[in-house]
């Protein structure tokens, strides 16, 4: 299969890498920042490390696929000559990804939950050091904005797992998790949206190309999916969290619905950004 015919495969691989990297990062943040109670933190950190290992394998496969695209086809994925070029472009994000994985295992093995913060920072750096912001004539703060954007997106993306109303989780513990999560989300979500909107304007090259280009429209569709998820978050904060105390059974049923819808919207957002950064691109880059 020739290089560009590999693009759909690259999209599938990037989607899996997004999901693994953001989930590992989000679980690490929920464990290290205390969204989940003390007795659950070791399990969250362990799960984050196992998912980080998946992200590392997916990262290595992405490197090979990039090399295959450069060398002209899948049979040449291990082509050493073109790999020196591939590595020159991908060394920094790959090393950031490996550092994130290392931090995840160190947090688990040495039971030092604060080390998990470096898992999240490592994954965010791996996104900041690649992608369209690196191709801007004067990147400035744009790579940092991607890193911050992805860090907060991971905190949000892990919420359906950390807040899922398992039978084994008592109503009080569930209520505390919801309160702790939304205490962080209230400050973090505006930053995620502002960084995303600024990046969209910056990378697309202005409001007109954002509104008129295929790339721009994919980002606006992503904004719509994220805005729906934000609406569900507000519903959880204003209505469902209260219901968990007043009528736990009904509250739990509502929470399952909103979190399942959230997970679908997050997958949609990842599919749209994967499409925007793999099968299309900004008009002028
Ligand atoms: C559920 C919420 C969101 C999630 C999970 C999410 C996830 C991501 C991820 C993983 C990336 C890195 C993509 C890569 O480098 O390959 C990214 C980049 C980006 N996101 Fe978001 N995001 C969310 C919300 C938003 C919102 C609301 C906007 C506003 C329009 C936005 C705009 C962007 C832009 C412009 C980039 C850079 C794309 C590029 O490099 O071409 N995101 N996002």
Cβ atoms of 197 and 230 closer than 8 Å? no
pLDDT tens for each residue of 119-175: 999 999 999 999 899 989 999 999 999 999 999 999 999 999 999 999 999 999 999
pLDDT over 80 (residue 2): no
b/e sequence 216-232, b meaning 16+ C-beta within 10 Å = bbbbebbbebbebbbeb
- How far does residue 157's CA lie from ligand 1's centre (Å)? 12
User: To which residue do tokens 């409001």 refer?
Assistant: 207
CA distance 80 to 11: 24
Across the range 209-220, mean pLDDT stands at 96
| % of the chain residues with pLDDT over 90 | 95
> Which pLDDT tens digit goes with each residue over 185-203?
999 999 999 999 999 999 9
Note whether 24 and 122 are same-domain residues: yes
Residues 32, 109, single domain; the answer is: yes
Per-residue pLDDT, averaged over 206-232, amounts to 96
Single out the residue in 130, 152, 172 at which a domain terminates: 130
Please answer whether residues 55 and 21 qualify as being in contact, where contact means their C-beta atoms are separated by less than 8 angstroms.
yes
Among 96, 115, 130, residue at a domain's last position: 130
For residue 62, pLDDT over 90 is answered with yes
Do 23 and 148 lie in a common domain?
A: no
Residue 18 near ligand 1, beta carbon < 6 Å:
yes
Q: Are residues 284 and 172 in the same domain?
A: yes
Does pLDDT of 7 surpass 60? yes
Indicate if ligand 1 lies below 6 Å from the C-beta of 198: no
Answer yes or no: is the C-beta of 202 below 6 A from any ligand 1 atom. no
- The predicted pLDDT at position 22 comes to 98
* 207 in the same domain as 275: yes
Q: Are residues 145 and 266 in the same domain?
A: yes
pLDDT of residue 4: 72
Number of domains in the chain: 2
């Amino acid at each position: 299969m020739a290089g560009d015919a590999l693009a759909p495969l690259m999209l599938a691989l990037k989607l899996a890498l997004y999901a693994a990297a953001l989930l590992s990062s989000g679980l690490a943040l929920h464990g290290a920042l205390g969204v989940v109670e003390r007795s659950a933190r070791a399990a969250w950190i362990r799960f984050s490390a196992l998912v980080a290992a998946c992200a590392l394998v997916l990262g290595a496969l992405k490197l090979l696929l990039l090399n295959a695209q450069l060398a002209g086809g899948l049979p040449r994925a291990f082509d050493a000559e073109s790999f020196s070029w591939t590595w020159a472009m991908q060394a920094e994000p790959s090393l950031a990804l490996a550092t994130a994985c290392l931090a995840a295992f160190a947090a688990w093995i040495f039971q030092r939950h604060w080390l998990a913060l470096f898992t999240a920072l490592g994954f965010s750096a791996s996104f900041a050091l690649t992608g369209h912001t690196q191709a801007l004539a004067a990147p400035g703060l744009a790579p940092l904005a991607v890193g911050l954007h992805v860090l907060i997106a991971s905190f949000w993306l892990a919420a359906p797992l950390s807040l899922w109303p398992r039978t084994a989780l008592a109503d009080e513990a569930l209520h505390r998790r919801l309160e702790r999560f939304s205490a962080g989300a209230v400050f973090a979500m505006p930053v995620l949206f502002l960084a995303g909107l600024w990046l969209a304007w910056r990378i697309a090259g202005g409001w007109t190309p954002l509104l008129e280009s295929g790339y721009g429209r994919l980002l606006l569709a992503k904004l719509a999916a994220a805005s729906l998820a934000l609406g569900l978050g507000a519903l959880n904060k204003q209505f469902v969290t209260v219901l968990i105390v007043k009528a736990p059974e009904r509250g739990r049923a509502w929470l399952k619905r909103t979190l399942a819808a959230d997970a679908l919207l997050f997958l949609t957002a990842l599919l749209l950004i994967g499409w925007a950064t793999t099968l299309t691109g900004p008009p002028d880059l």
